[in-house]
Amino acid sequence: MSCIHHVKVNWFETETETLSICPFYEWRKRDFIDTYQTVPILCLEKETFSMIESTLSGLPQTFFLKMHQKSMKHHHRYDYCAVLTDKQSILAIDTLGYDFPLLKSRLTPIKEQQVLKISETLPICDGELKVVKPKHTPYTLTNQQLIGLTRQERELKYLLMSMFEQLEKNKQYQAIDYFMTVYYRLINRPVERGYQIFLKTIACGFTKAHHELIKNMLPLDACYQELYFEAITDETIENYMHY
């Protein structure tokens, strides 16, 4: 079993949108960066890798057998952690005892180069996934709707959609109508009286109007303000070549 050593990871939990598993240049100082002494490398078919990266599908037993207690952190062995690659893209995973990758992370540039070099001589690890397709709602943001956005913009967009989702769950329809009107005023367009049309409109891109709408909605709940200030605090890790 080929392994890589001294691996830094920045775990994202139950993530199914590949763009939201942040690459290293988007890691922030406030993120919890963990370090593993040793992690095994599994080389996969491109289709299998893509499915693991973009869903929470169950892993085949063959993967668990290859991963079992091969990773080490703080001198303790961990059951099911690995670095996966299709010889082009790279993803670290940890199941934390589940049958699917609960945690996902990208690697630092130096470690990615090392994994790609090692993978050149690795055989493909076969196995059939227990496919679980993500469940989408009108508030779900897909990769296509996140392309081209920074981490800050993605997080603010997630916050915006979750605020409207909560308003609908609480049946606060007057508040929904009010904030819809606010948005249409911000973009200088007549108000369209279709909530689903509105959701599709704000799901596209990220503009100054999106940001202003979010700021208008922050007084709804103190937790929204906390999430907002976390998102706009955009201090990235410096001197990445040392990682």
What are the extents of the domains in the chain? 3-135, 143-232
Average of per-residue pLDDT across 36-59: 97
Token representation of residue 141: 């943001």
3-class DSSP state of 4: strand
pLDDT bracket for residue 193 (50, 70, 90): confident
Q: How confident is the model over 122-146, as pLDDT tens digits?
A: 999 989 999 988 888 999 999 999 9
Token representation of residue 96: 């934390």
pLDDT(163) > 90: yes
Average of per-residue pLDDT across 71-93: 96
% the chain with pLDDT above 70: 97
Give the per-residue pLDDT at 222.
95
pLDDT(243) > 90: no
% the chain with pLDDT above 90: 88
Instruction: Report the alpha-carbon distance of residue 122 to residue 44 in Å, rounded.
Output: 10
Give the per-residue pLDDT at 133.
82
Higher pLDDT, 243 or 151: 151
Give the per-residue pLDDT at 2.
93
Give the per-residue pLDDT at 105.
98
Q: What average pLDDT is seen over the chain?
A: 94
pLDDT bracket for residue 242 (50, 70, 90): low
Give the per-residue pLDDT at 31.
92
Which distant-in-sequence residues (6+ apart) come within 8 Å of 239 by Cβ?
A: none
* CA-based nearest residue to 187, from 154, 212, 161: 212
Backbone angles phi, psi at 27, to 5 degrees: -65, 145
Question: 156, 214 in Cβ contact below 8 A?
Answer: yes
Average of per-residue pLDDT across 50-62: 96
Higher pLDDT, 236 or 27: 27
Q: Which long-range contacts (CB under 8 A, 24 or more apart) does 185-192 make?
A: 186/212, 186/213
